[in-house]
């Protein structure tokens, strides 16, 4: 792929609205080794809280010795630990918030390593009860990879994927990207959903605005070769589209930098020669990305996050990491006139390096994006890590965006398609806005779906929807400020089966060979469709099975018509 190199102006006088930050003392935040953090309002009090994973020096001898995870509550800008997760803690980790039961409370998933066992890679799922987090499940986990949350099959329930290194007894170390599909009662694991990596990063995101989620993943593959792959979702299958320049020891963050309506991204890591690397990739709208390498500014082993730091309406980014055993923290501001990023020399950030975490959020609700950073300080004689919170001192104001005003829902081909327009912001271009879609079974509820999308449309599979739904949308600007909720819309879902007094089981799902269809009511007819809406030639045998073995991997819809006049549909994944 042709490379384009970004020339940078390093004089702060040439940067419009150069920013500065000041460190805010937070003595309750531990100085974590090998950390990760997730930020969200877990108790719905309007302030952002922090879930930290990592390890600590418990005995004060400057050496890490104990895995420790904590939830920190934000009270008027001051953080205090309100829950410690004891022996179920992880480091070399990843952590994400996810409302896996759609009860309006954010739950948590973590994955990583515990000092209790050097090959005890675990993942933990915690339910938010409203008064704290309770462990509901744990399973084999991964390190040196990552974790992402999304709704891949459009059923309104959030799924997730884990990438990285896993130790399997009797096999050794594996490197796979596994999908966990949410079926309300738990998660169904789809092992090796895509070729996994170690010492890399990944993101599940819609890169071509077709309302289907695609995949970008980099790092070292199972053969320990560097890779950077783009997968496009074709009828539920992830098909490799292209390869980008090799990157490892990396982090990525996504946003529409140039306001054209398509998701771009920034990546920091090491290139194929193990040299520090920093580049912005611009999306042409078809999922093709142009590399804009920022020469001389590469950092590896740290983190990168996006957000509008100078309140001009455009996404900037902050990056921390290492270069030749020196730690750096840098901010790059997007110049919309020149359509390029320029380094801000006036940040006042503390230089932090590898094996840490980075988060961008408004901790004190003043309308400005602040920075939470954790990592090693290579200048420290004991090579200790530090956790730092930096307040954004900008005086430029940012108004919250307006919600969409034109909302439309259509019912077609087994899908409810939601579209909206009319959202505006004082600074962020409309094309760069993101949206929070909420769908409920009653007015004011969000028990069917609630998550962020990057397009002005989305769809839900209607097979499990009630006969009436209520939906609304919020706009989100580049400074991560939310609009008020749009006017809530009501929709009658046509053709939804009233299957009361009829129980049907369709299993296993995912399926490799034979699919079983069991029902308390007599089945009249059946149909199987692919995601293109084509009806496939199938037979329901006398023992109520359907042979899926000849089908390609992907997602299919099974429609069952009962003799009592009722009808139901189920989405089935073929492995």
Long-range contacts of 42-48 (CB under 8 A, 24+ apart): 42/71, 42/97, 42/105, 42/106, 42/128, 43/73, 43/130, 44/104, 44/105, 46/365, 47/74, 47/75, 47/76, 47/77, 47/363, 47/365, 48/74, 48/361, 48/362, 48/363
Neighbour count for residue 330 (Cβ, 10 Å): 22
Which one, of 484, 6, 485, 437, lies nearest residue 257 by Cα? 6
- pLDDT at residue 360 in the model: 98
Q: In whole angstroms, what is the distance from residue 494 CA to residue 491 CA?
A: 9
Give the mean model confidence (pLDDT) for residues 257-283: 97
HSE toward the beta carbon, residue 377, CA cutoff 13 A = 16
Q: What residue segments make up the domains of the chain, in order of their start?
A: 53-73+86-141, 407-492, 504-574
What's the CATH number for 504-574? Answer: 2.60.40.10
- pLDDT at residue 464 in the model: 80
- pLDDT at residue 572 in the model: 87
Residue 554: which pLDDT band, with cuts at 50, 70 and 90?
confident
Report residue 148 as tokens.
């992402």
Equal fold, 407-492 vs 504-574: yes
- pLDDT at residue 502 in the model: 54
- pLDDT at residue 454 in the model: 98
Q: In 338-373, which positions are buried (b, 16+ CB within 10 angstroms) versus exposed (e)?
A: eebbbbbeebebbbbbbbbbbbbbbbbeebbbbbbb
Which one, of 14, 28, 10, 52, lies nearest residue 356 by Cα? 52
- pLDDT at residue 35 in the model: 96
Q: In 244-269, which positions are buried (b, 16+ CB within 10 angstroms) versus exposed (e)?
A: bbbbbbbbbbbbbbbbebbbbbbbbb
> What percent of the chain clears pLDDT 90, i.e. is strictly above it?
77
**pLDDT at residue 4 tops 50:** no
Q: Which residues pair with 449 in a beta bridge?
A: 439
**pLDDT at residue 354 tops 90:** no
- pLDDT at residue 2 in the model: 34
**pLDDT at residue 498 tops 50:** no
**pLDDT at residue 463 tops 50:** yes
Query: Is the backbone of residue 347 left (phi > 0), alpha (psi -120 to 50) or beta?
Result: alpha
Residue 64: which pLDDT band, with cuts at 50, 70 and 90?
very high
Of 125-134, 232-241, 454-463, 498-507, the one with minimum mean pLDDT is 498-507
- pLDDT at residue 167 in the model: 85
- pLDDT at residue 12 in the model: 35
Q: In whole angstroms, what is the distance from residue 164 CA to residue 198 CA?
A: 5
Neighbour count for residue 40 (Cβ, 10 Å): 17
Q: In whole angstroms, what is the distance from residue 7 CA to residue 272 CA?
A: 22
- pLDDT at residue 532 in the model: 67
Report residue 393 as tokens.
């001192």
More confident residue, 15 or 443: 443
More confident residue, 134 or 568: 134
HEC sequence for 111-155: EEEECCEEEEEEEEEEEECCCCEEEEEEEECCEEEEEEEECCCCC
- Asked if residues 491 and 411 have their Cβ atoms less than 8 Å apart, the reply is yes
Give the mean model confidence (pLDDT) for residues 317-345: 95
**pLDDT at residue 507 tops 90:** no
**pLDDT at residue 11 tops 80:** no
Give the mean model confidence (pLDDT) for residues 241-247: 96
**pLDDT at residue 13 tops 70:** no
Q: In whole angstroms, what is the distance from residue 391 CA to residue 114 CA?
A: 32
Q: In whole angstroms, what is the distance from residue 71 CA to residue 478 CA?
A: 26
| Domain 407-492 of CATH type 2.60.40.10 | yes
513-541 tens-digit pLDDT: 999 898 877 888 898 988 766 789 999 98
More confident residue, 173 or 390: 390
- Asked if residues 36 and 93 have their Cβ atoms less than 8 Å apart, the reply is yes
Cα 186 to Cα 159, 480, 498, distances in angstroms: 10, 31, 24
- pLDDT at residue 118 in the model: 63
> What percent of the chain clears pLDDT 70, i.e. is strictly above it?
94
- pLDDT at residue 7 in the model: 40
Report residue 247 as tokens.
């990157």
| Strand order, beta sheet including 107-114 | 91-98, 107-114, 117-128, 133-140
Q: In 312-321, which positions are buried (b, 16+ CB within 10 angstroms) versus exposed (e)?
A: bbbbbbbbbb
- Asked if residues 48 and 366 have their Cβ atoms less than 8 Å apart, the reply is no
């Amino acid at each position: 792929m042709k490379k384009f190199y970004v020339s940078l102006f390093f004089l702060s006088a040439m940067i419009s609205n150069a920013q500065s930050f000041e460190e805010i003392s937070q003595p309750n935040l531990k100085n974590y080794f090998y950390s990760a953090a997730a930020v969200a309002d877990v108790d719905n009090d309007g302030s952002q809280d922090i879930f930290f994973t990592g390890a600590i020096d418990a005995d004060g001898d400057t050496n890490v010795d104990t895995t420790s995870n904590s939830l920190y509550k934000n009270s008027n800008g001051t953080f205090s630990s309100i829950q410690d997760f004891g022996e179920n803690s992880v480091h070399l980790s990843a952590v994400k918030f996810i409302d896996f039961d759609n009860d309006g409370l954010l739950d948590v998933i973590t994955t990583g390593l515990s000092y209790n066992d050097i090959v005890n890679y675990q993942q933990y799922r915690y339910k938010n009860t409203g008064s704290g987090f309770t462990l509901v499940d744990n399973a084999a986990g991964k390190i040196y990879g990552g974790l992402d949350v999304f709704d891949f099959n459009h059923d309104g329930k959030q799924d997730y994927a884990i990438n990285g290194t896993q130790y399997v007894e009797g096999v050794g170390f594996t490197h796979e990207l596994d999908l966990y599909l949410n079926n309300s009662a738990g998660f169904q694991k789809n092992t090796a959903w895509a070729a996994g990596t170690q010492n890399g990063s990944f993101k599940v995101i819609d890169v071509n605005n077709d309302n289907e989620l695609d995949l970008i993943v980099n790092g070292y593959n199972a053969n320990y070769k560097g890779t950077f792959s783009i997968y496009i979702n074709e009828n539920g299958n992830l098909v490799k589209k292209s390869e980008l320049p090799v990157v490892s020891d990396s982090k990525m963050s996504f946003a529409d930098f140039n306001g054209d309506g398509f998701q771009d991204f920034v990546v920091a890591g090491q290139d194929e020669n193990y040299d520090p690397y920093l580049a912005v990739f611009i999306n042409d709208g078809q999922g093709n990305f142009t590399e804009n390498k920022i020469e001389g500014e590469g950092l590896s082993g740290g983190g990168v996050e996006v957000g509008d730091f100078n309140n001009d309406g455009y996404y900037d980014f902050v990056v921390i990491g290492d270069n030749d055993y020196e730690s750096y923290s840098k901010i790059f501001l997007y110049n919309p006139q020149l359509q390029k990023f320029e380094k801000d020399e006036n940040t006042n950030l503390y230089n932090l390096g590898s094996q840490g975490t980075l988060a961008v959020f408004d901790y004190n609700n003043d309308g400005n994006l602040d920075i939470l950073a954790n990592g090693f300080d290579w200048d420290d004689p004991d090579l200790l890590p530090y956790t730092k919170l930096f307040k954004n001192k900008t005086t430029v104001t940012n108004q919250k965006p307006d919600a969409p005003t034109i909302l439309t829902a259509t019912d077609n081909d087994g899908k409810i398609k939601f579209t909206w327009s009319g959202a505006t912001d004082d600074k962020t271009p409309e094309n760069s806005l993101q949206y929070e879609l909420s769908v409920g079974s009653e007015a004011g509820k969000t028990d069917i779906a609630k998550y962020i999308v990057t397009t002005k449309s989305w769809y839900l599979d209607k097979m499990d929807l009630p006969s009436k739904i209520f939906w609304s949308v919020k706009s989100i600007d580049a400074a991560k400020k939310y609009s008020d909720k749009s006017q809530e819309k009501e929709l009658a879902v046509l053709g939804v089966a009233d299957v009361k007094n009829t129980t049907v089981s369709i299993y296993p799902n995912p399926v490799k060979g034979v699919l079983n269809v069991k029902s308390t009511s007599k089945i009249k007819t059946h149909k199987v469709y692919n995601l293109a809406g084509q009806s496939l030639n199938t037979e329901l045998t006398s023992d109520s099975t359907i042979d899926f073995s000849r089908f390609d991997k992907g997602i299919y819809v099974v429609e069952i018509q009962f003799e009592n006049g009722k009808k139901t549909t189920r989405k089935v994944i073929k492995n």
